[in-house]
Chain A
Amino acid sequence: MAGLELLSEQGFRLDGRRAGELRQLRARMGVFAQADGSAYLEQGNTKALAVVYGPHELRGSRGKAPHAQALVNCQYSMATFSTAERKRRPHGDRASAEMSLHLKQTFEAALLTRLFPRSQIDIYVQILQADGGNYCAAVNAATLALLDAGIPMRDYVCACSAGFLEDTALADLNYVEEAAGGPQLALALLPQAQHIALLELNARLHQDHLPRVLDAATQACRHLHALLDRVVREHLRDAAALLGK
């Protein structure tokens, strides 16, 4: 049997997108009452839920906590039913721990943590359904949840993945494309200043190709920024309308 043709001669990917196109994005902010901020986000079939508590006083041991700024506490977990095969350990496994760390690093770069010394900001992300780009969906959902919580940030953090196939850079990989094993990169960008909050590349890629893949990911991030911004503005308008009543 012939393997999958990830990019057809006509320039279409398996799911019908062209190389640079994003999956459909849908998002809602303020989905939960208990939390200080929350958001639900879908990037294609990847569905993520982010909840923010804080800033509140430090919990647990104070030894590790930084003095002059807020402690960013992240936890990433995946629902057991989120993947094609049931996950035995929804959180606490190594991949989730790494993902939690990446989220922490990403948001430490974006949050104005110096405004909240001796306090803590919790960011919890739950992946309800996974179809590639889990990190990116987690970052985007967390950004919306932080905005919902009203925690000051330098800028939005927009994340998108990109891969490289047959001399073409593909944006926003889905699971099939990720599983194909080519080089892939995850980029978290502060779009207005074009600052990179986090960049992770796996599989080998020659440095000469990096600019093209990076460029594809950057373009995708900026596009995402526009989409997220629209979600935020619509949410604000609705909230304002409710208050007006």
Chain B
Amino acid sequence: MAAAGGFRTVEPLEYYRRFLKENCRPDGRELGEFRTTTVNVGSITTADGSALVKLGNTTVICGIKAEFAVPPVDSSNKGYIVPNVDLPLLCSSRFRPGPPGEEAQAASQFMADVIENSQVVMKEDLCIVDGKLAWVLYCDMICLDYDGNLLDACMCAFLAALKNVQLPAVSINEETGLAEVNLKEKTPLTIRKEPVAASFILFDSLLIVDPTAEEEDLATGTVTIVTDEEGKLCAVHKPGGSTLTGAKLQDCISRAVTRHKEVKKLLDKLIKSKKAK
């Protein structure tokens, strides 16, 4: 053990390659295998929707809070969805105090792009009164334990939390012009598309799925594919690094489609068990 540990620290690349030769990874997974994924929804009662996702060790909690706002001037029939990814100090010793780092900002932007492109929720659905009142959904994702593949975990937590959201019925009182909230009638959001992400690293021309933090550090490039339930692409994200052939990309996409099925099964089961209660 001690010898292996020392080897891992001193020659991490060599250490890793030895595992890959045997078609397996240091944590015992095959190259195309995701870590165990668990999802828990509704644990934060102060939020209008919440979910906690564990992807192996990586843990992300997403809380969604709904507030009122005036719709934007240029599209008066739309509401807002505001995602934010936070990587606090507690999630890993690799982060430093101060304003949100690059990785957190990049992740926030990625989430915003996926939400915009996939139309997971139609922003028109969030409008209450044209030009006057609309919902803002603040979707805050906090990483509690950082062990790689942040985007997959965030995407999953976001989707699960979104499915957990219950919004009260709102009507505008004609006389006073004020919003009246009916607490008894609560409805879930209409979710149009269900985007699920699958991330890969490129390592010595190999594609390795769901990397840990250690693997990410060794990788020469990463790819993230987001698909919806019909197998349509919502996003392909490949920030530089080693090059990728079209065939390899196709492999990624087909793996992402299967991943979507796995996640959907998990979420459906969860929602079902919640309803049964």
| Bound CA–CA A56/B93 (angstroms) | 10
B92 at the interface (CB under 8 A from A): yes
Interface positions of A from 70 to 116, Cβ below 8 Å from B: 75, 77, 79-84, 86, 90-91
B98 to chain A: closest residue by CB? A92
A228 at the interface (CB under 8 A from B): no
Measured between beta carbons, the chain A residues less than 8 angstroms from B57 are 32-34
Interface positions of B from 55 to 90, Cβ below 8 Å from A: 57, 59, 61, 63-65, 67, 84, 86, 88-90
Give how many B residues have a beta carbon under 8 Å from the other chain's beta carbons. 28
A144 at the interface (CB under 8 A from B): no
Given contacts A33-B145, A79-B142, contact A45 B65 (CB under 8 A): no
A21 at the interface (CB under 8 A from B): no
Inter-subunit contact A75/B89 (CB<8 Å): yes
| Bound CA–CA A128/B143 (angstroms) | 12
Question: Would you give the shortest CB distance from A231 to chain B, in whole angstroms?
Answer: 19
B50 at the interface (CB under 8 A from A): yes
Name the contact of B146 in the complex, choosing from A34, A82, A126, A130 (C-beta under 8 A): A34
Which of B39-47, B122-130, B180-188 lies at the interface with chain A? B39-47
Inter-subunit contact A81/B144 (CB<8 Å): no
Inter-subunit contact A129/B145 (CB<8 Å): no
Inter-subunit contact B88/A81 (CB<8 Å): no
| Bound CA–CA A77/B97 (angstroms) | 12
A35 at the interface (CB under 8 A from B): yes
Inter-subunit contact A81/B50 (CB<8 Å): yes
A42 to chain B: closest residue by CB? B43
Inter-subunit contact A47/B44 (CB<8 Å): yes
Measured between beta carbons, the chain B residues less than 8 angstroms from A33 are 57, 145, 147
Inter-subunit contact A124/B92 (CB<8 Å): no
| Bound CA–CA A187/B229 (angstroms) | 53
Measured between beta carbons, the chain B residues less than 8 angstroms from A75 are 88-90, 97
Measured between beta carbons, the chain A residues less than 8 angstroms from B97 are 75
A51 at the interface (CB under 8 A from B): yes
A178 at the interface (CB under 8 A from B): no
Which of A33, A34, A47, A82 has the largest count of B CB atoms less than 10 A from its CB?
Answer: A34
A155 at the interface (CB under 8 A from B): no
Inter-subunit contact B45/A35 (CB<8 Å): no
| Bound CA–CA A75/B140 (angstroms) | 19
Inter-subunit contact A126/B144 (CB<8 Å): yes
Inter-subunit contact B46/A124 (CB<8 Å): no
Inter-subunit contact B140/A81 (CB<8 Å): yes
Measured between beta carbons, the chain B residues less than 8 angstroms from A45 are 45-46
Measured between beta carbons, the chain B residues less than 8 angstroms from A128 are 44, 61, 63
B16 at the interface (CB under 8 A from A): no
8 closest Cβ pairs, A-B complex: A81-B63, A124-B90, A81-B47, A51-B90, A32-B145, A33-B57, A86-B65, A80-B140
A residues contacting B by CB (< 8 A) are 32-35, 38, 45, 47, 49, 51, 53, 56, 75, 77, 79-84, 86, 90-91, 122, 124-126, 128-131
B residues contacting A by CB (< 8 A) are 44-47, 50, 57, 59, 61, 63-65, 67, 84, 86, 88-93, 97, 138, 140, 142, 144-147
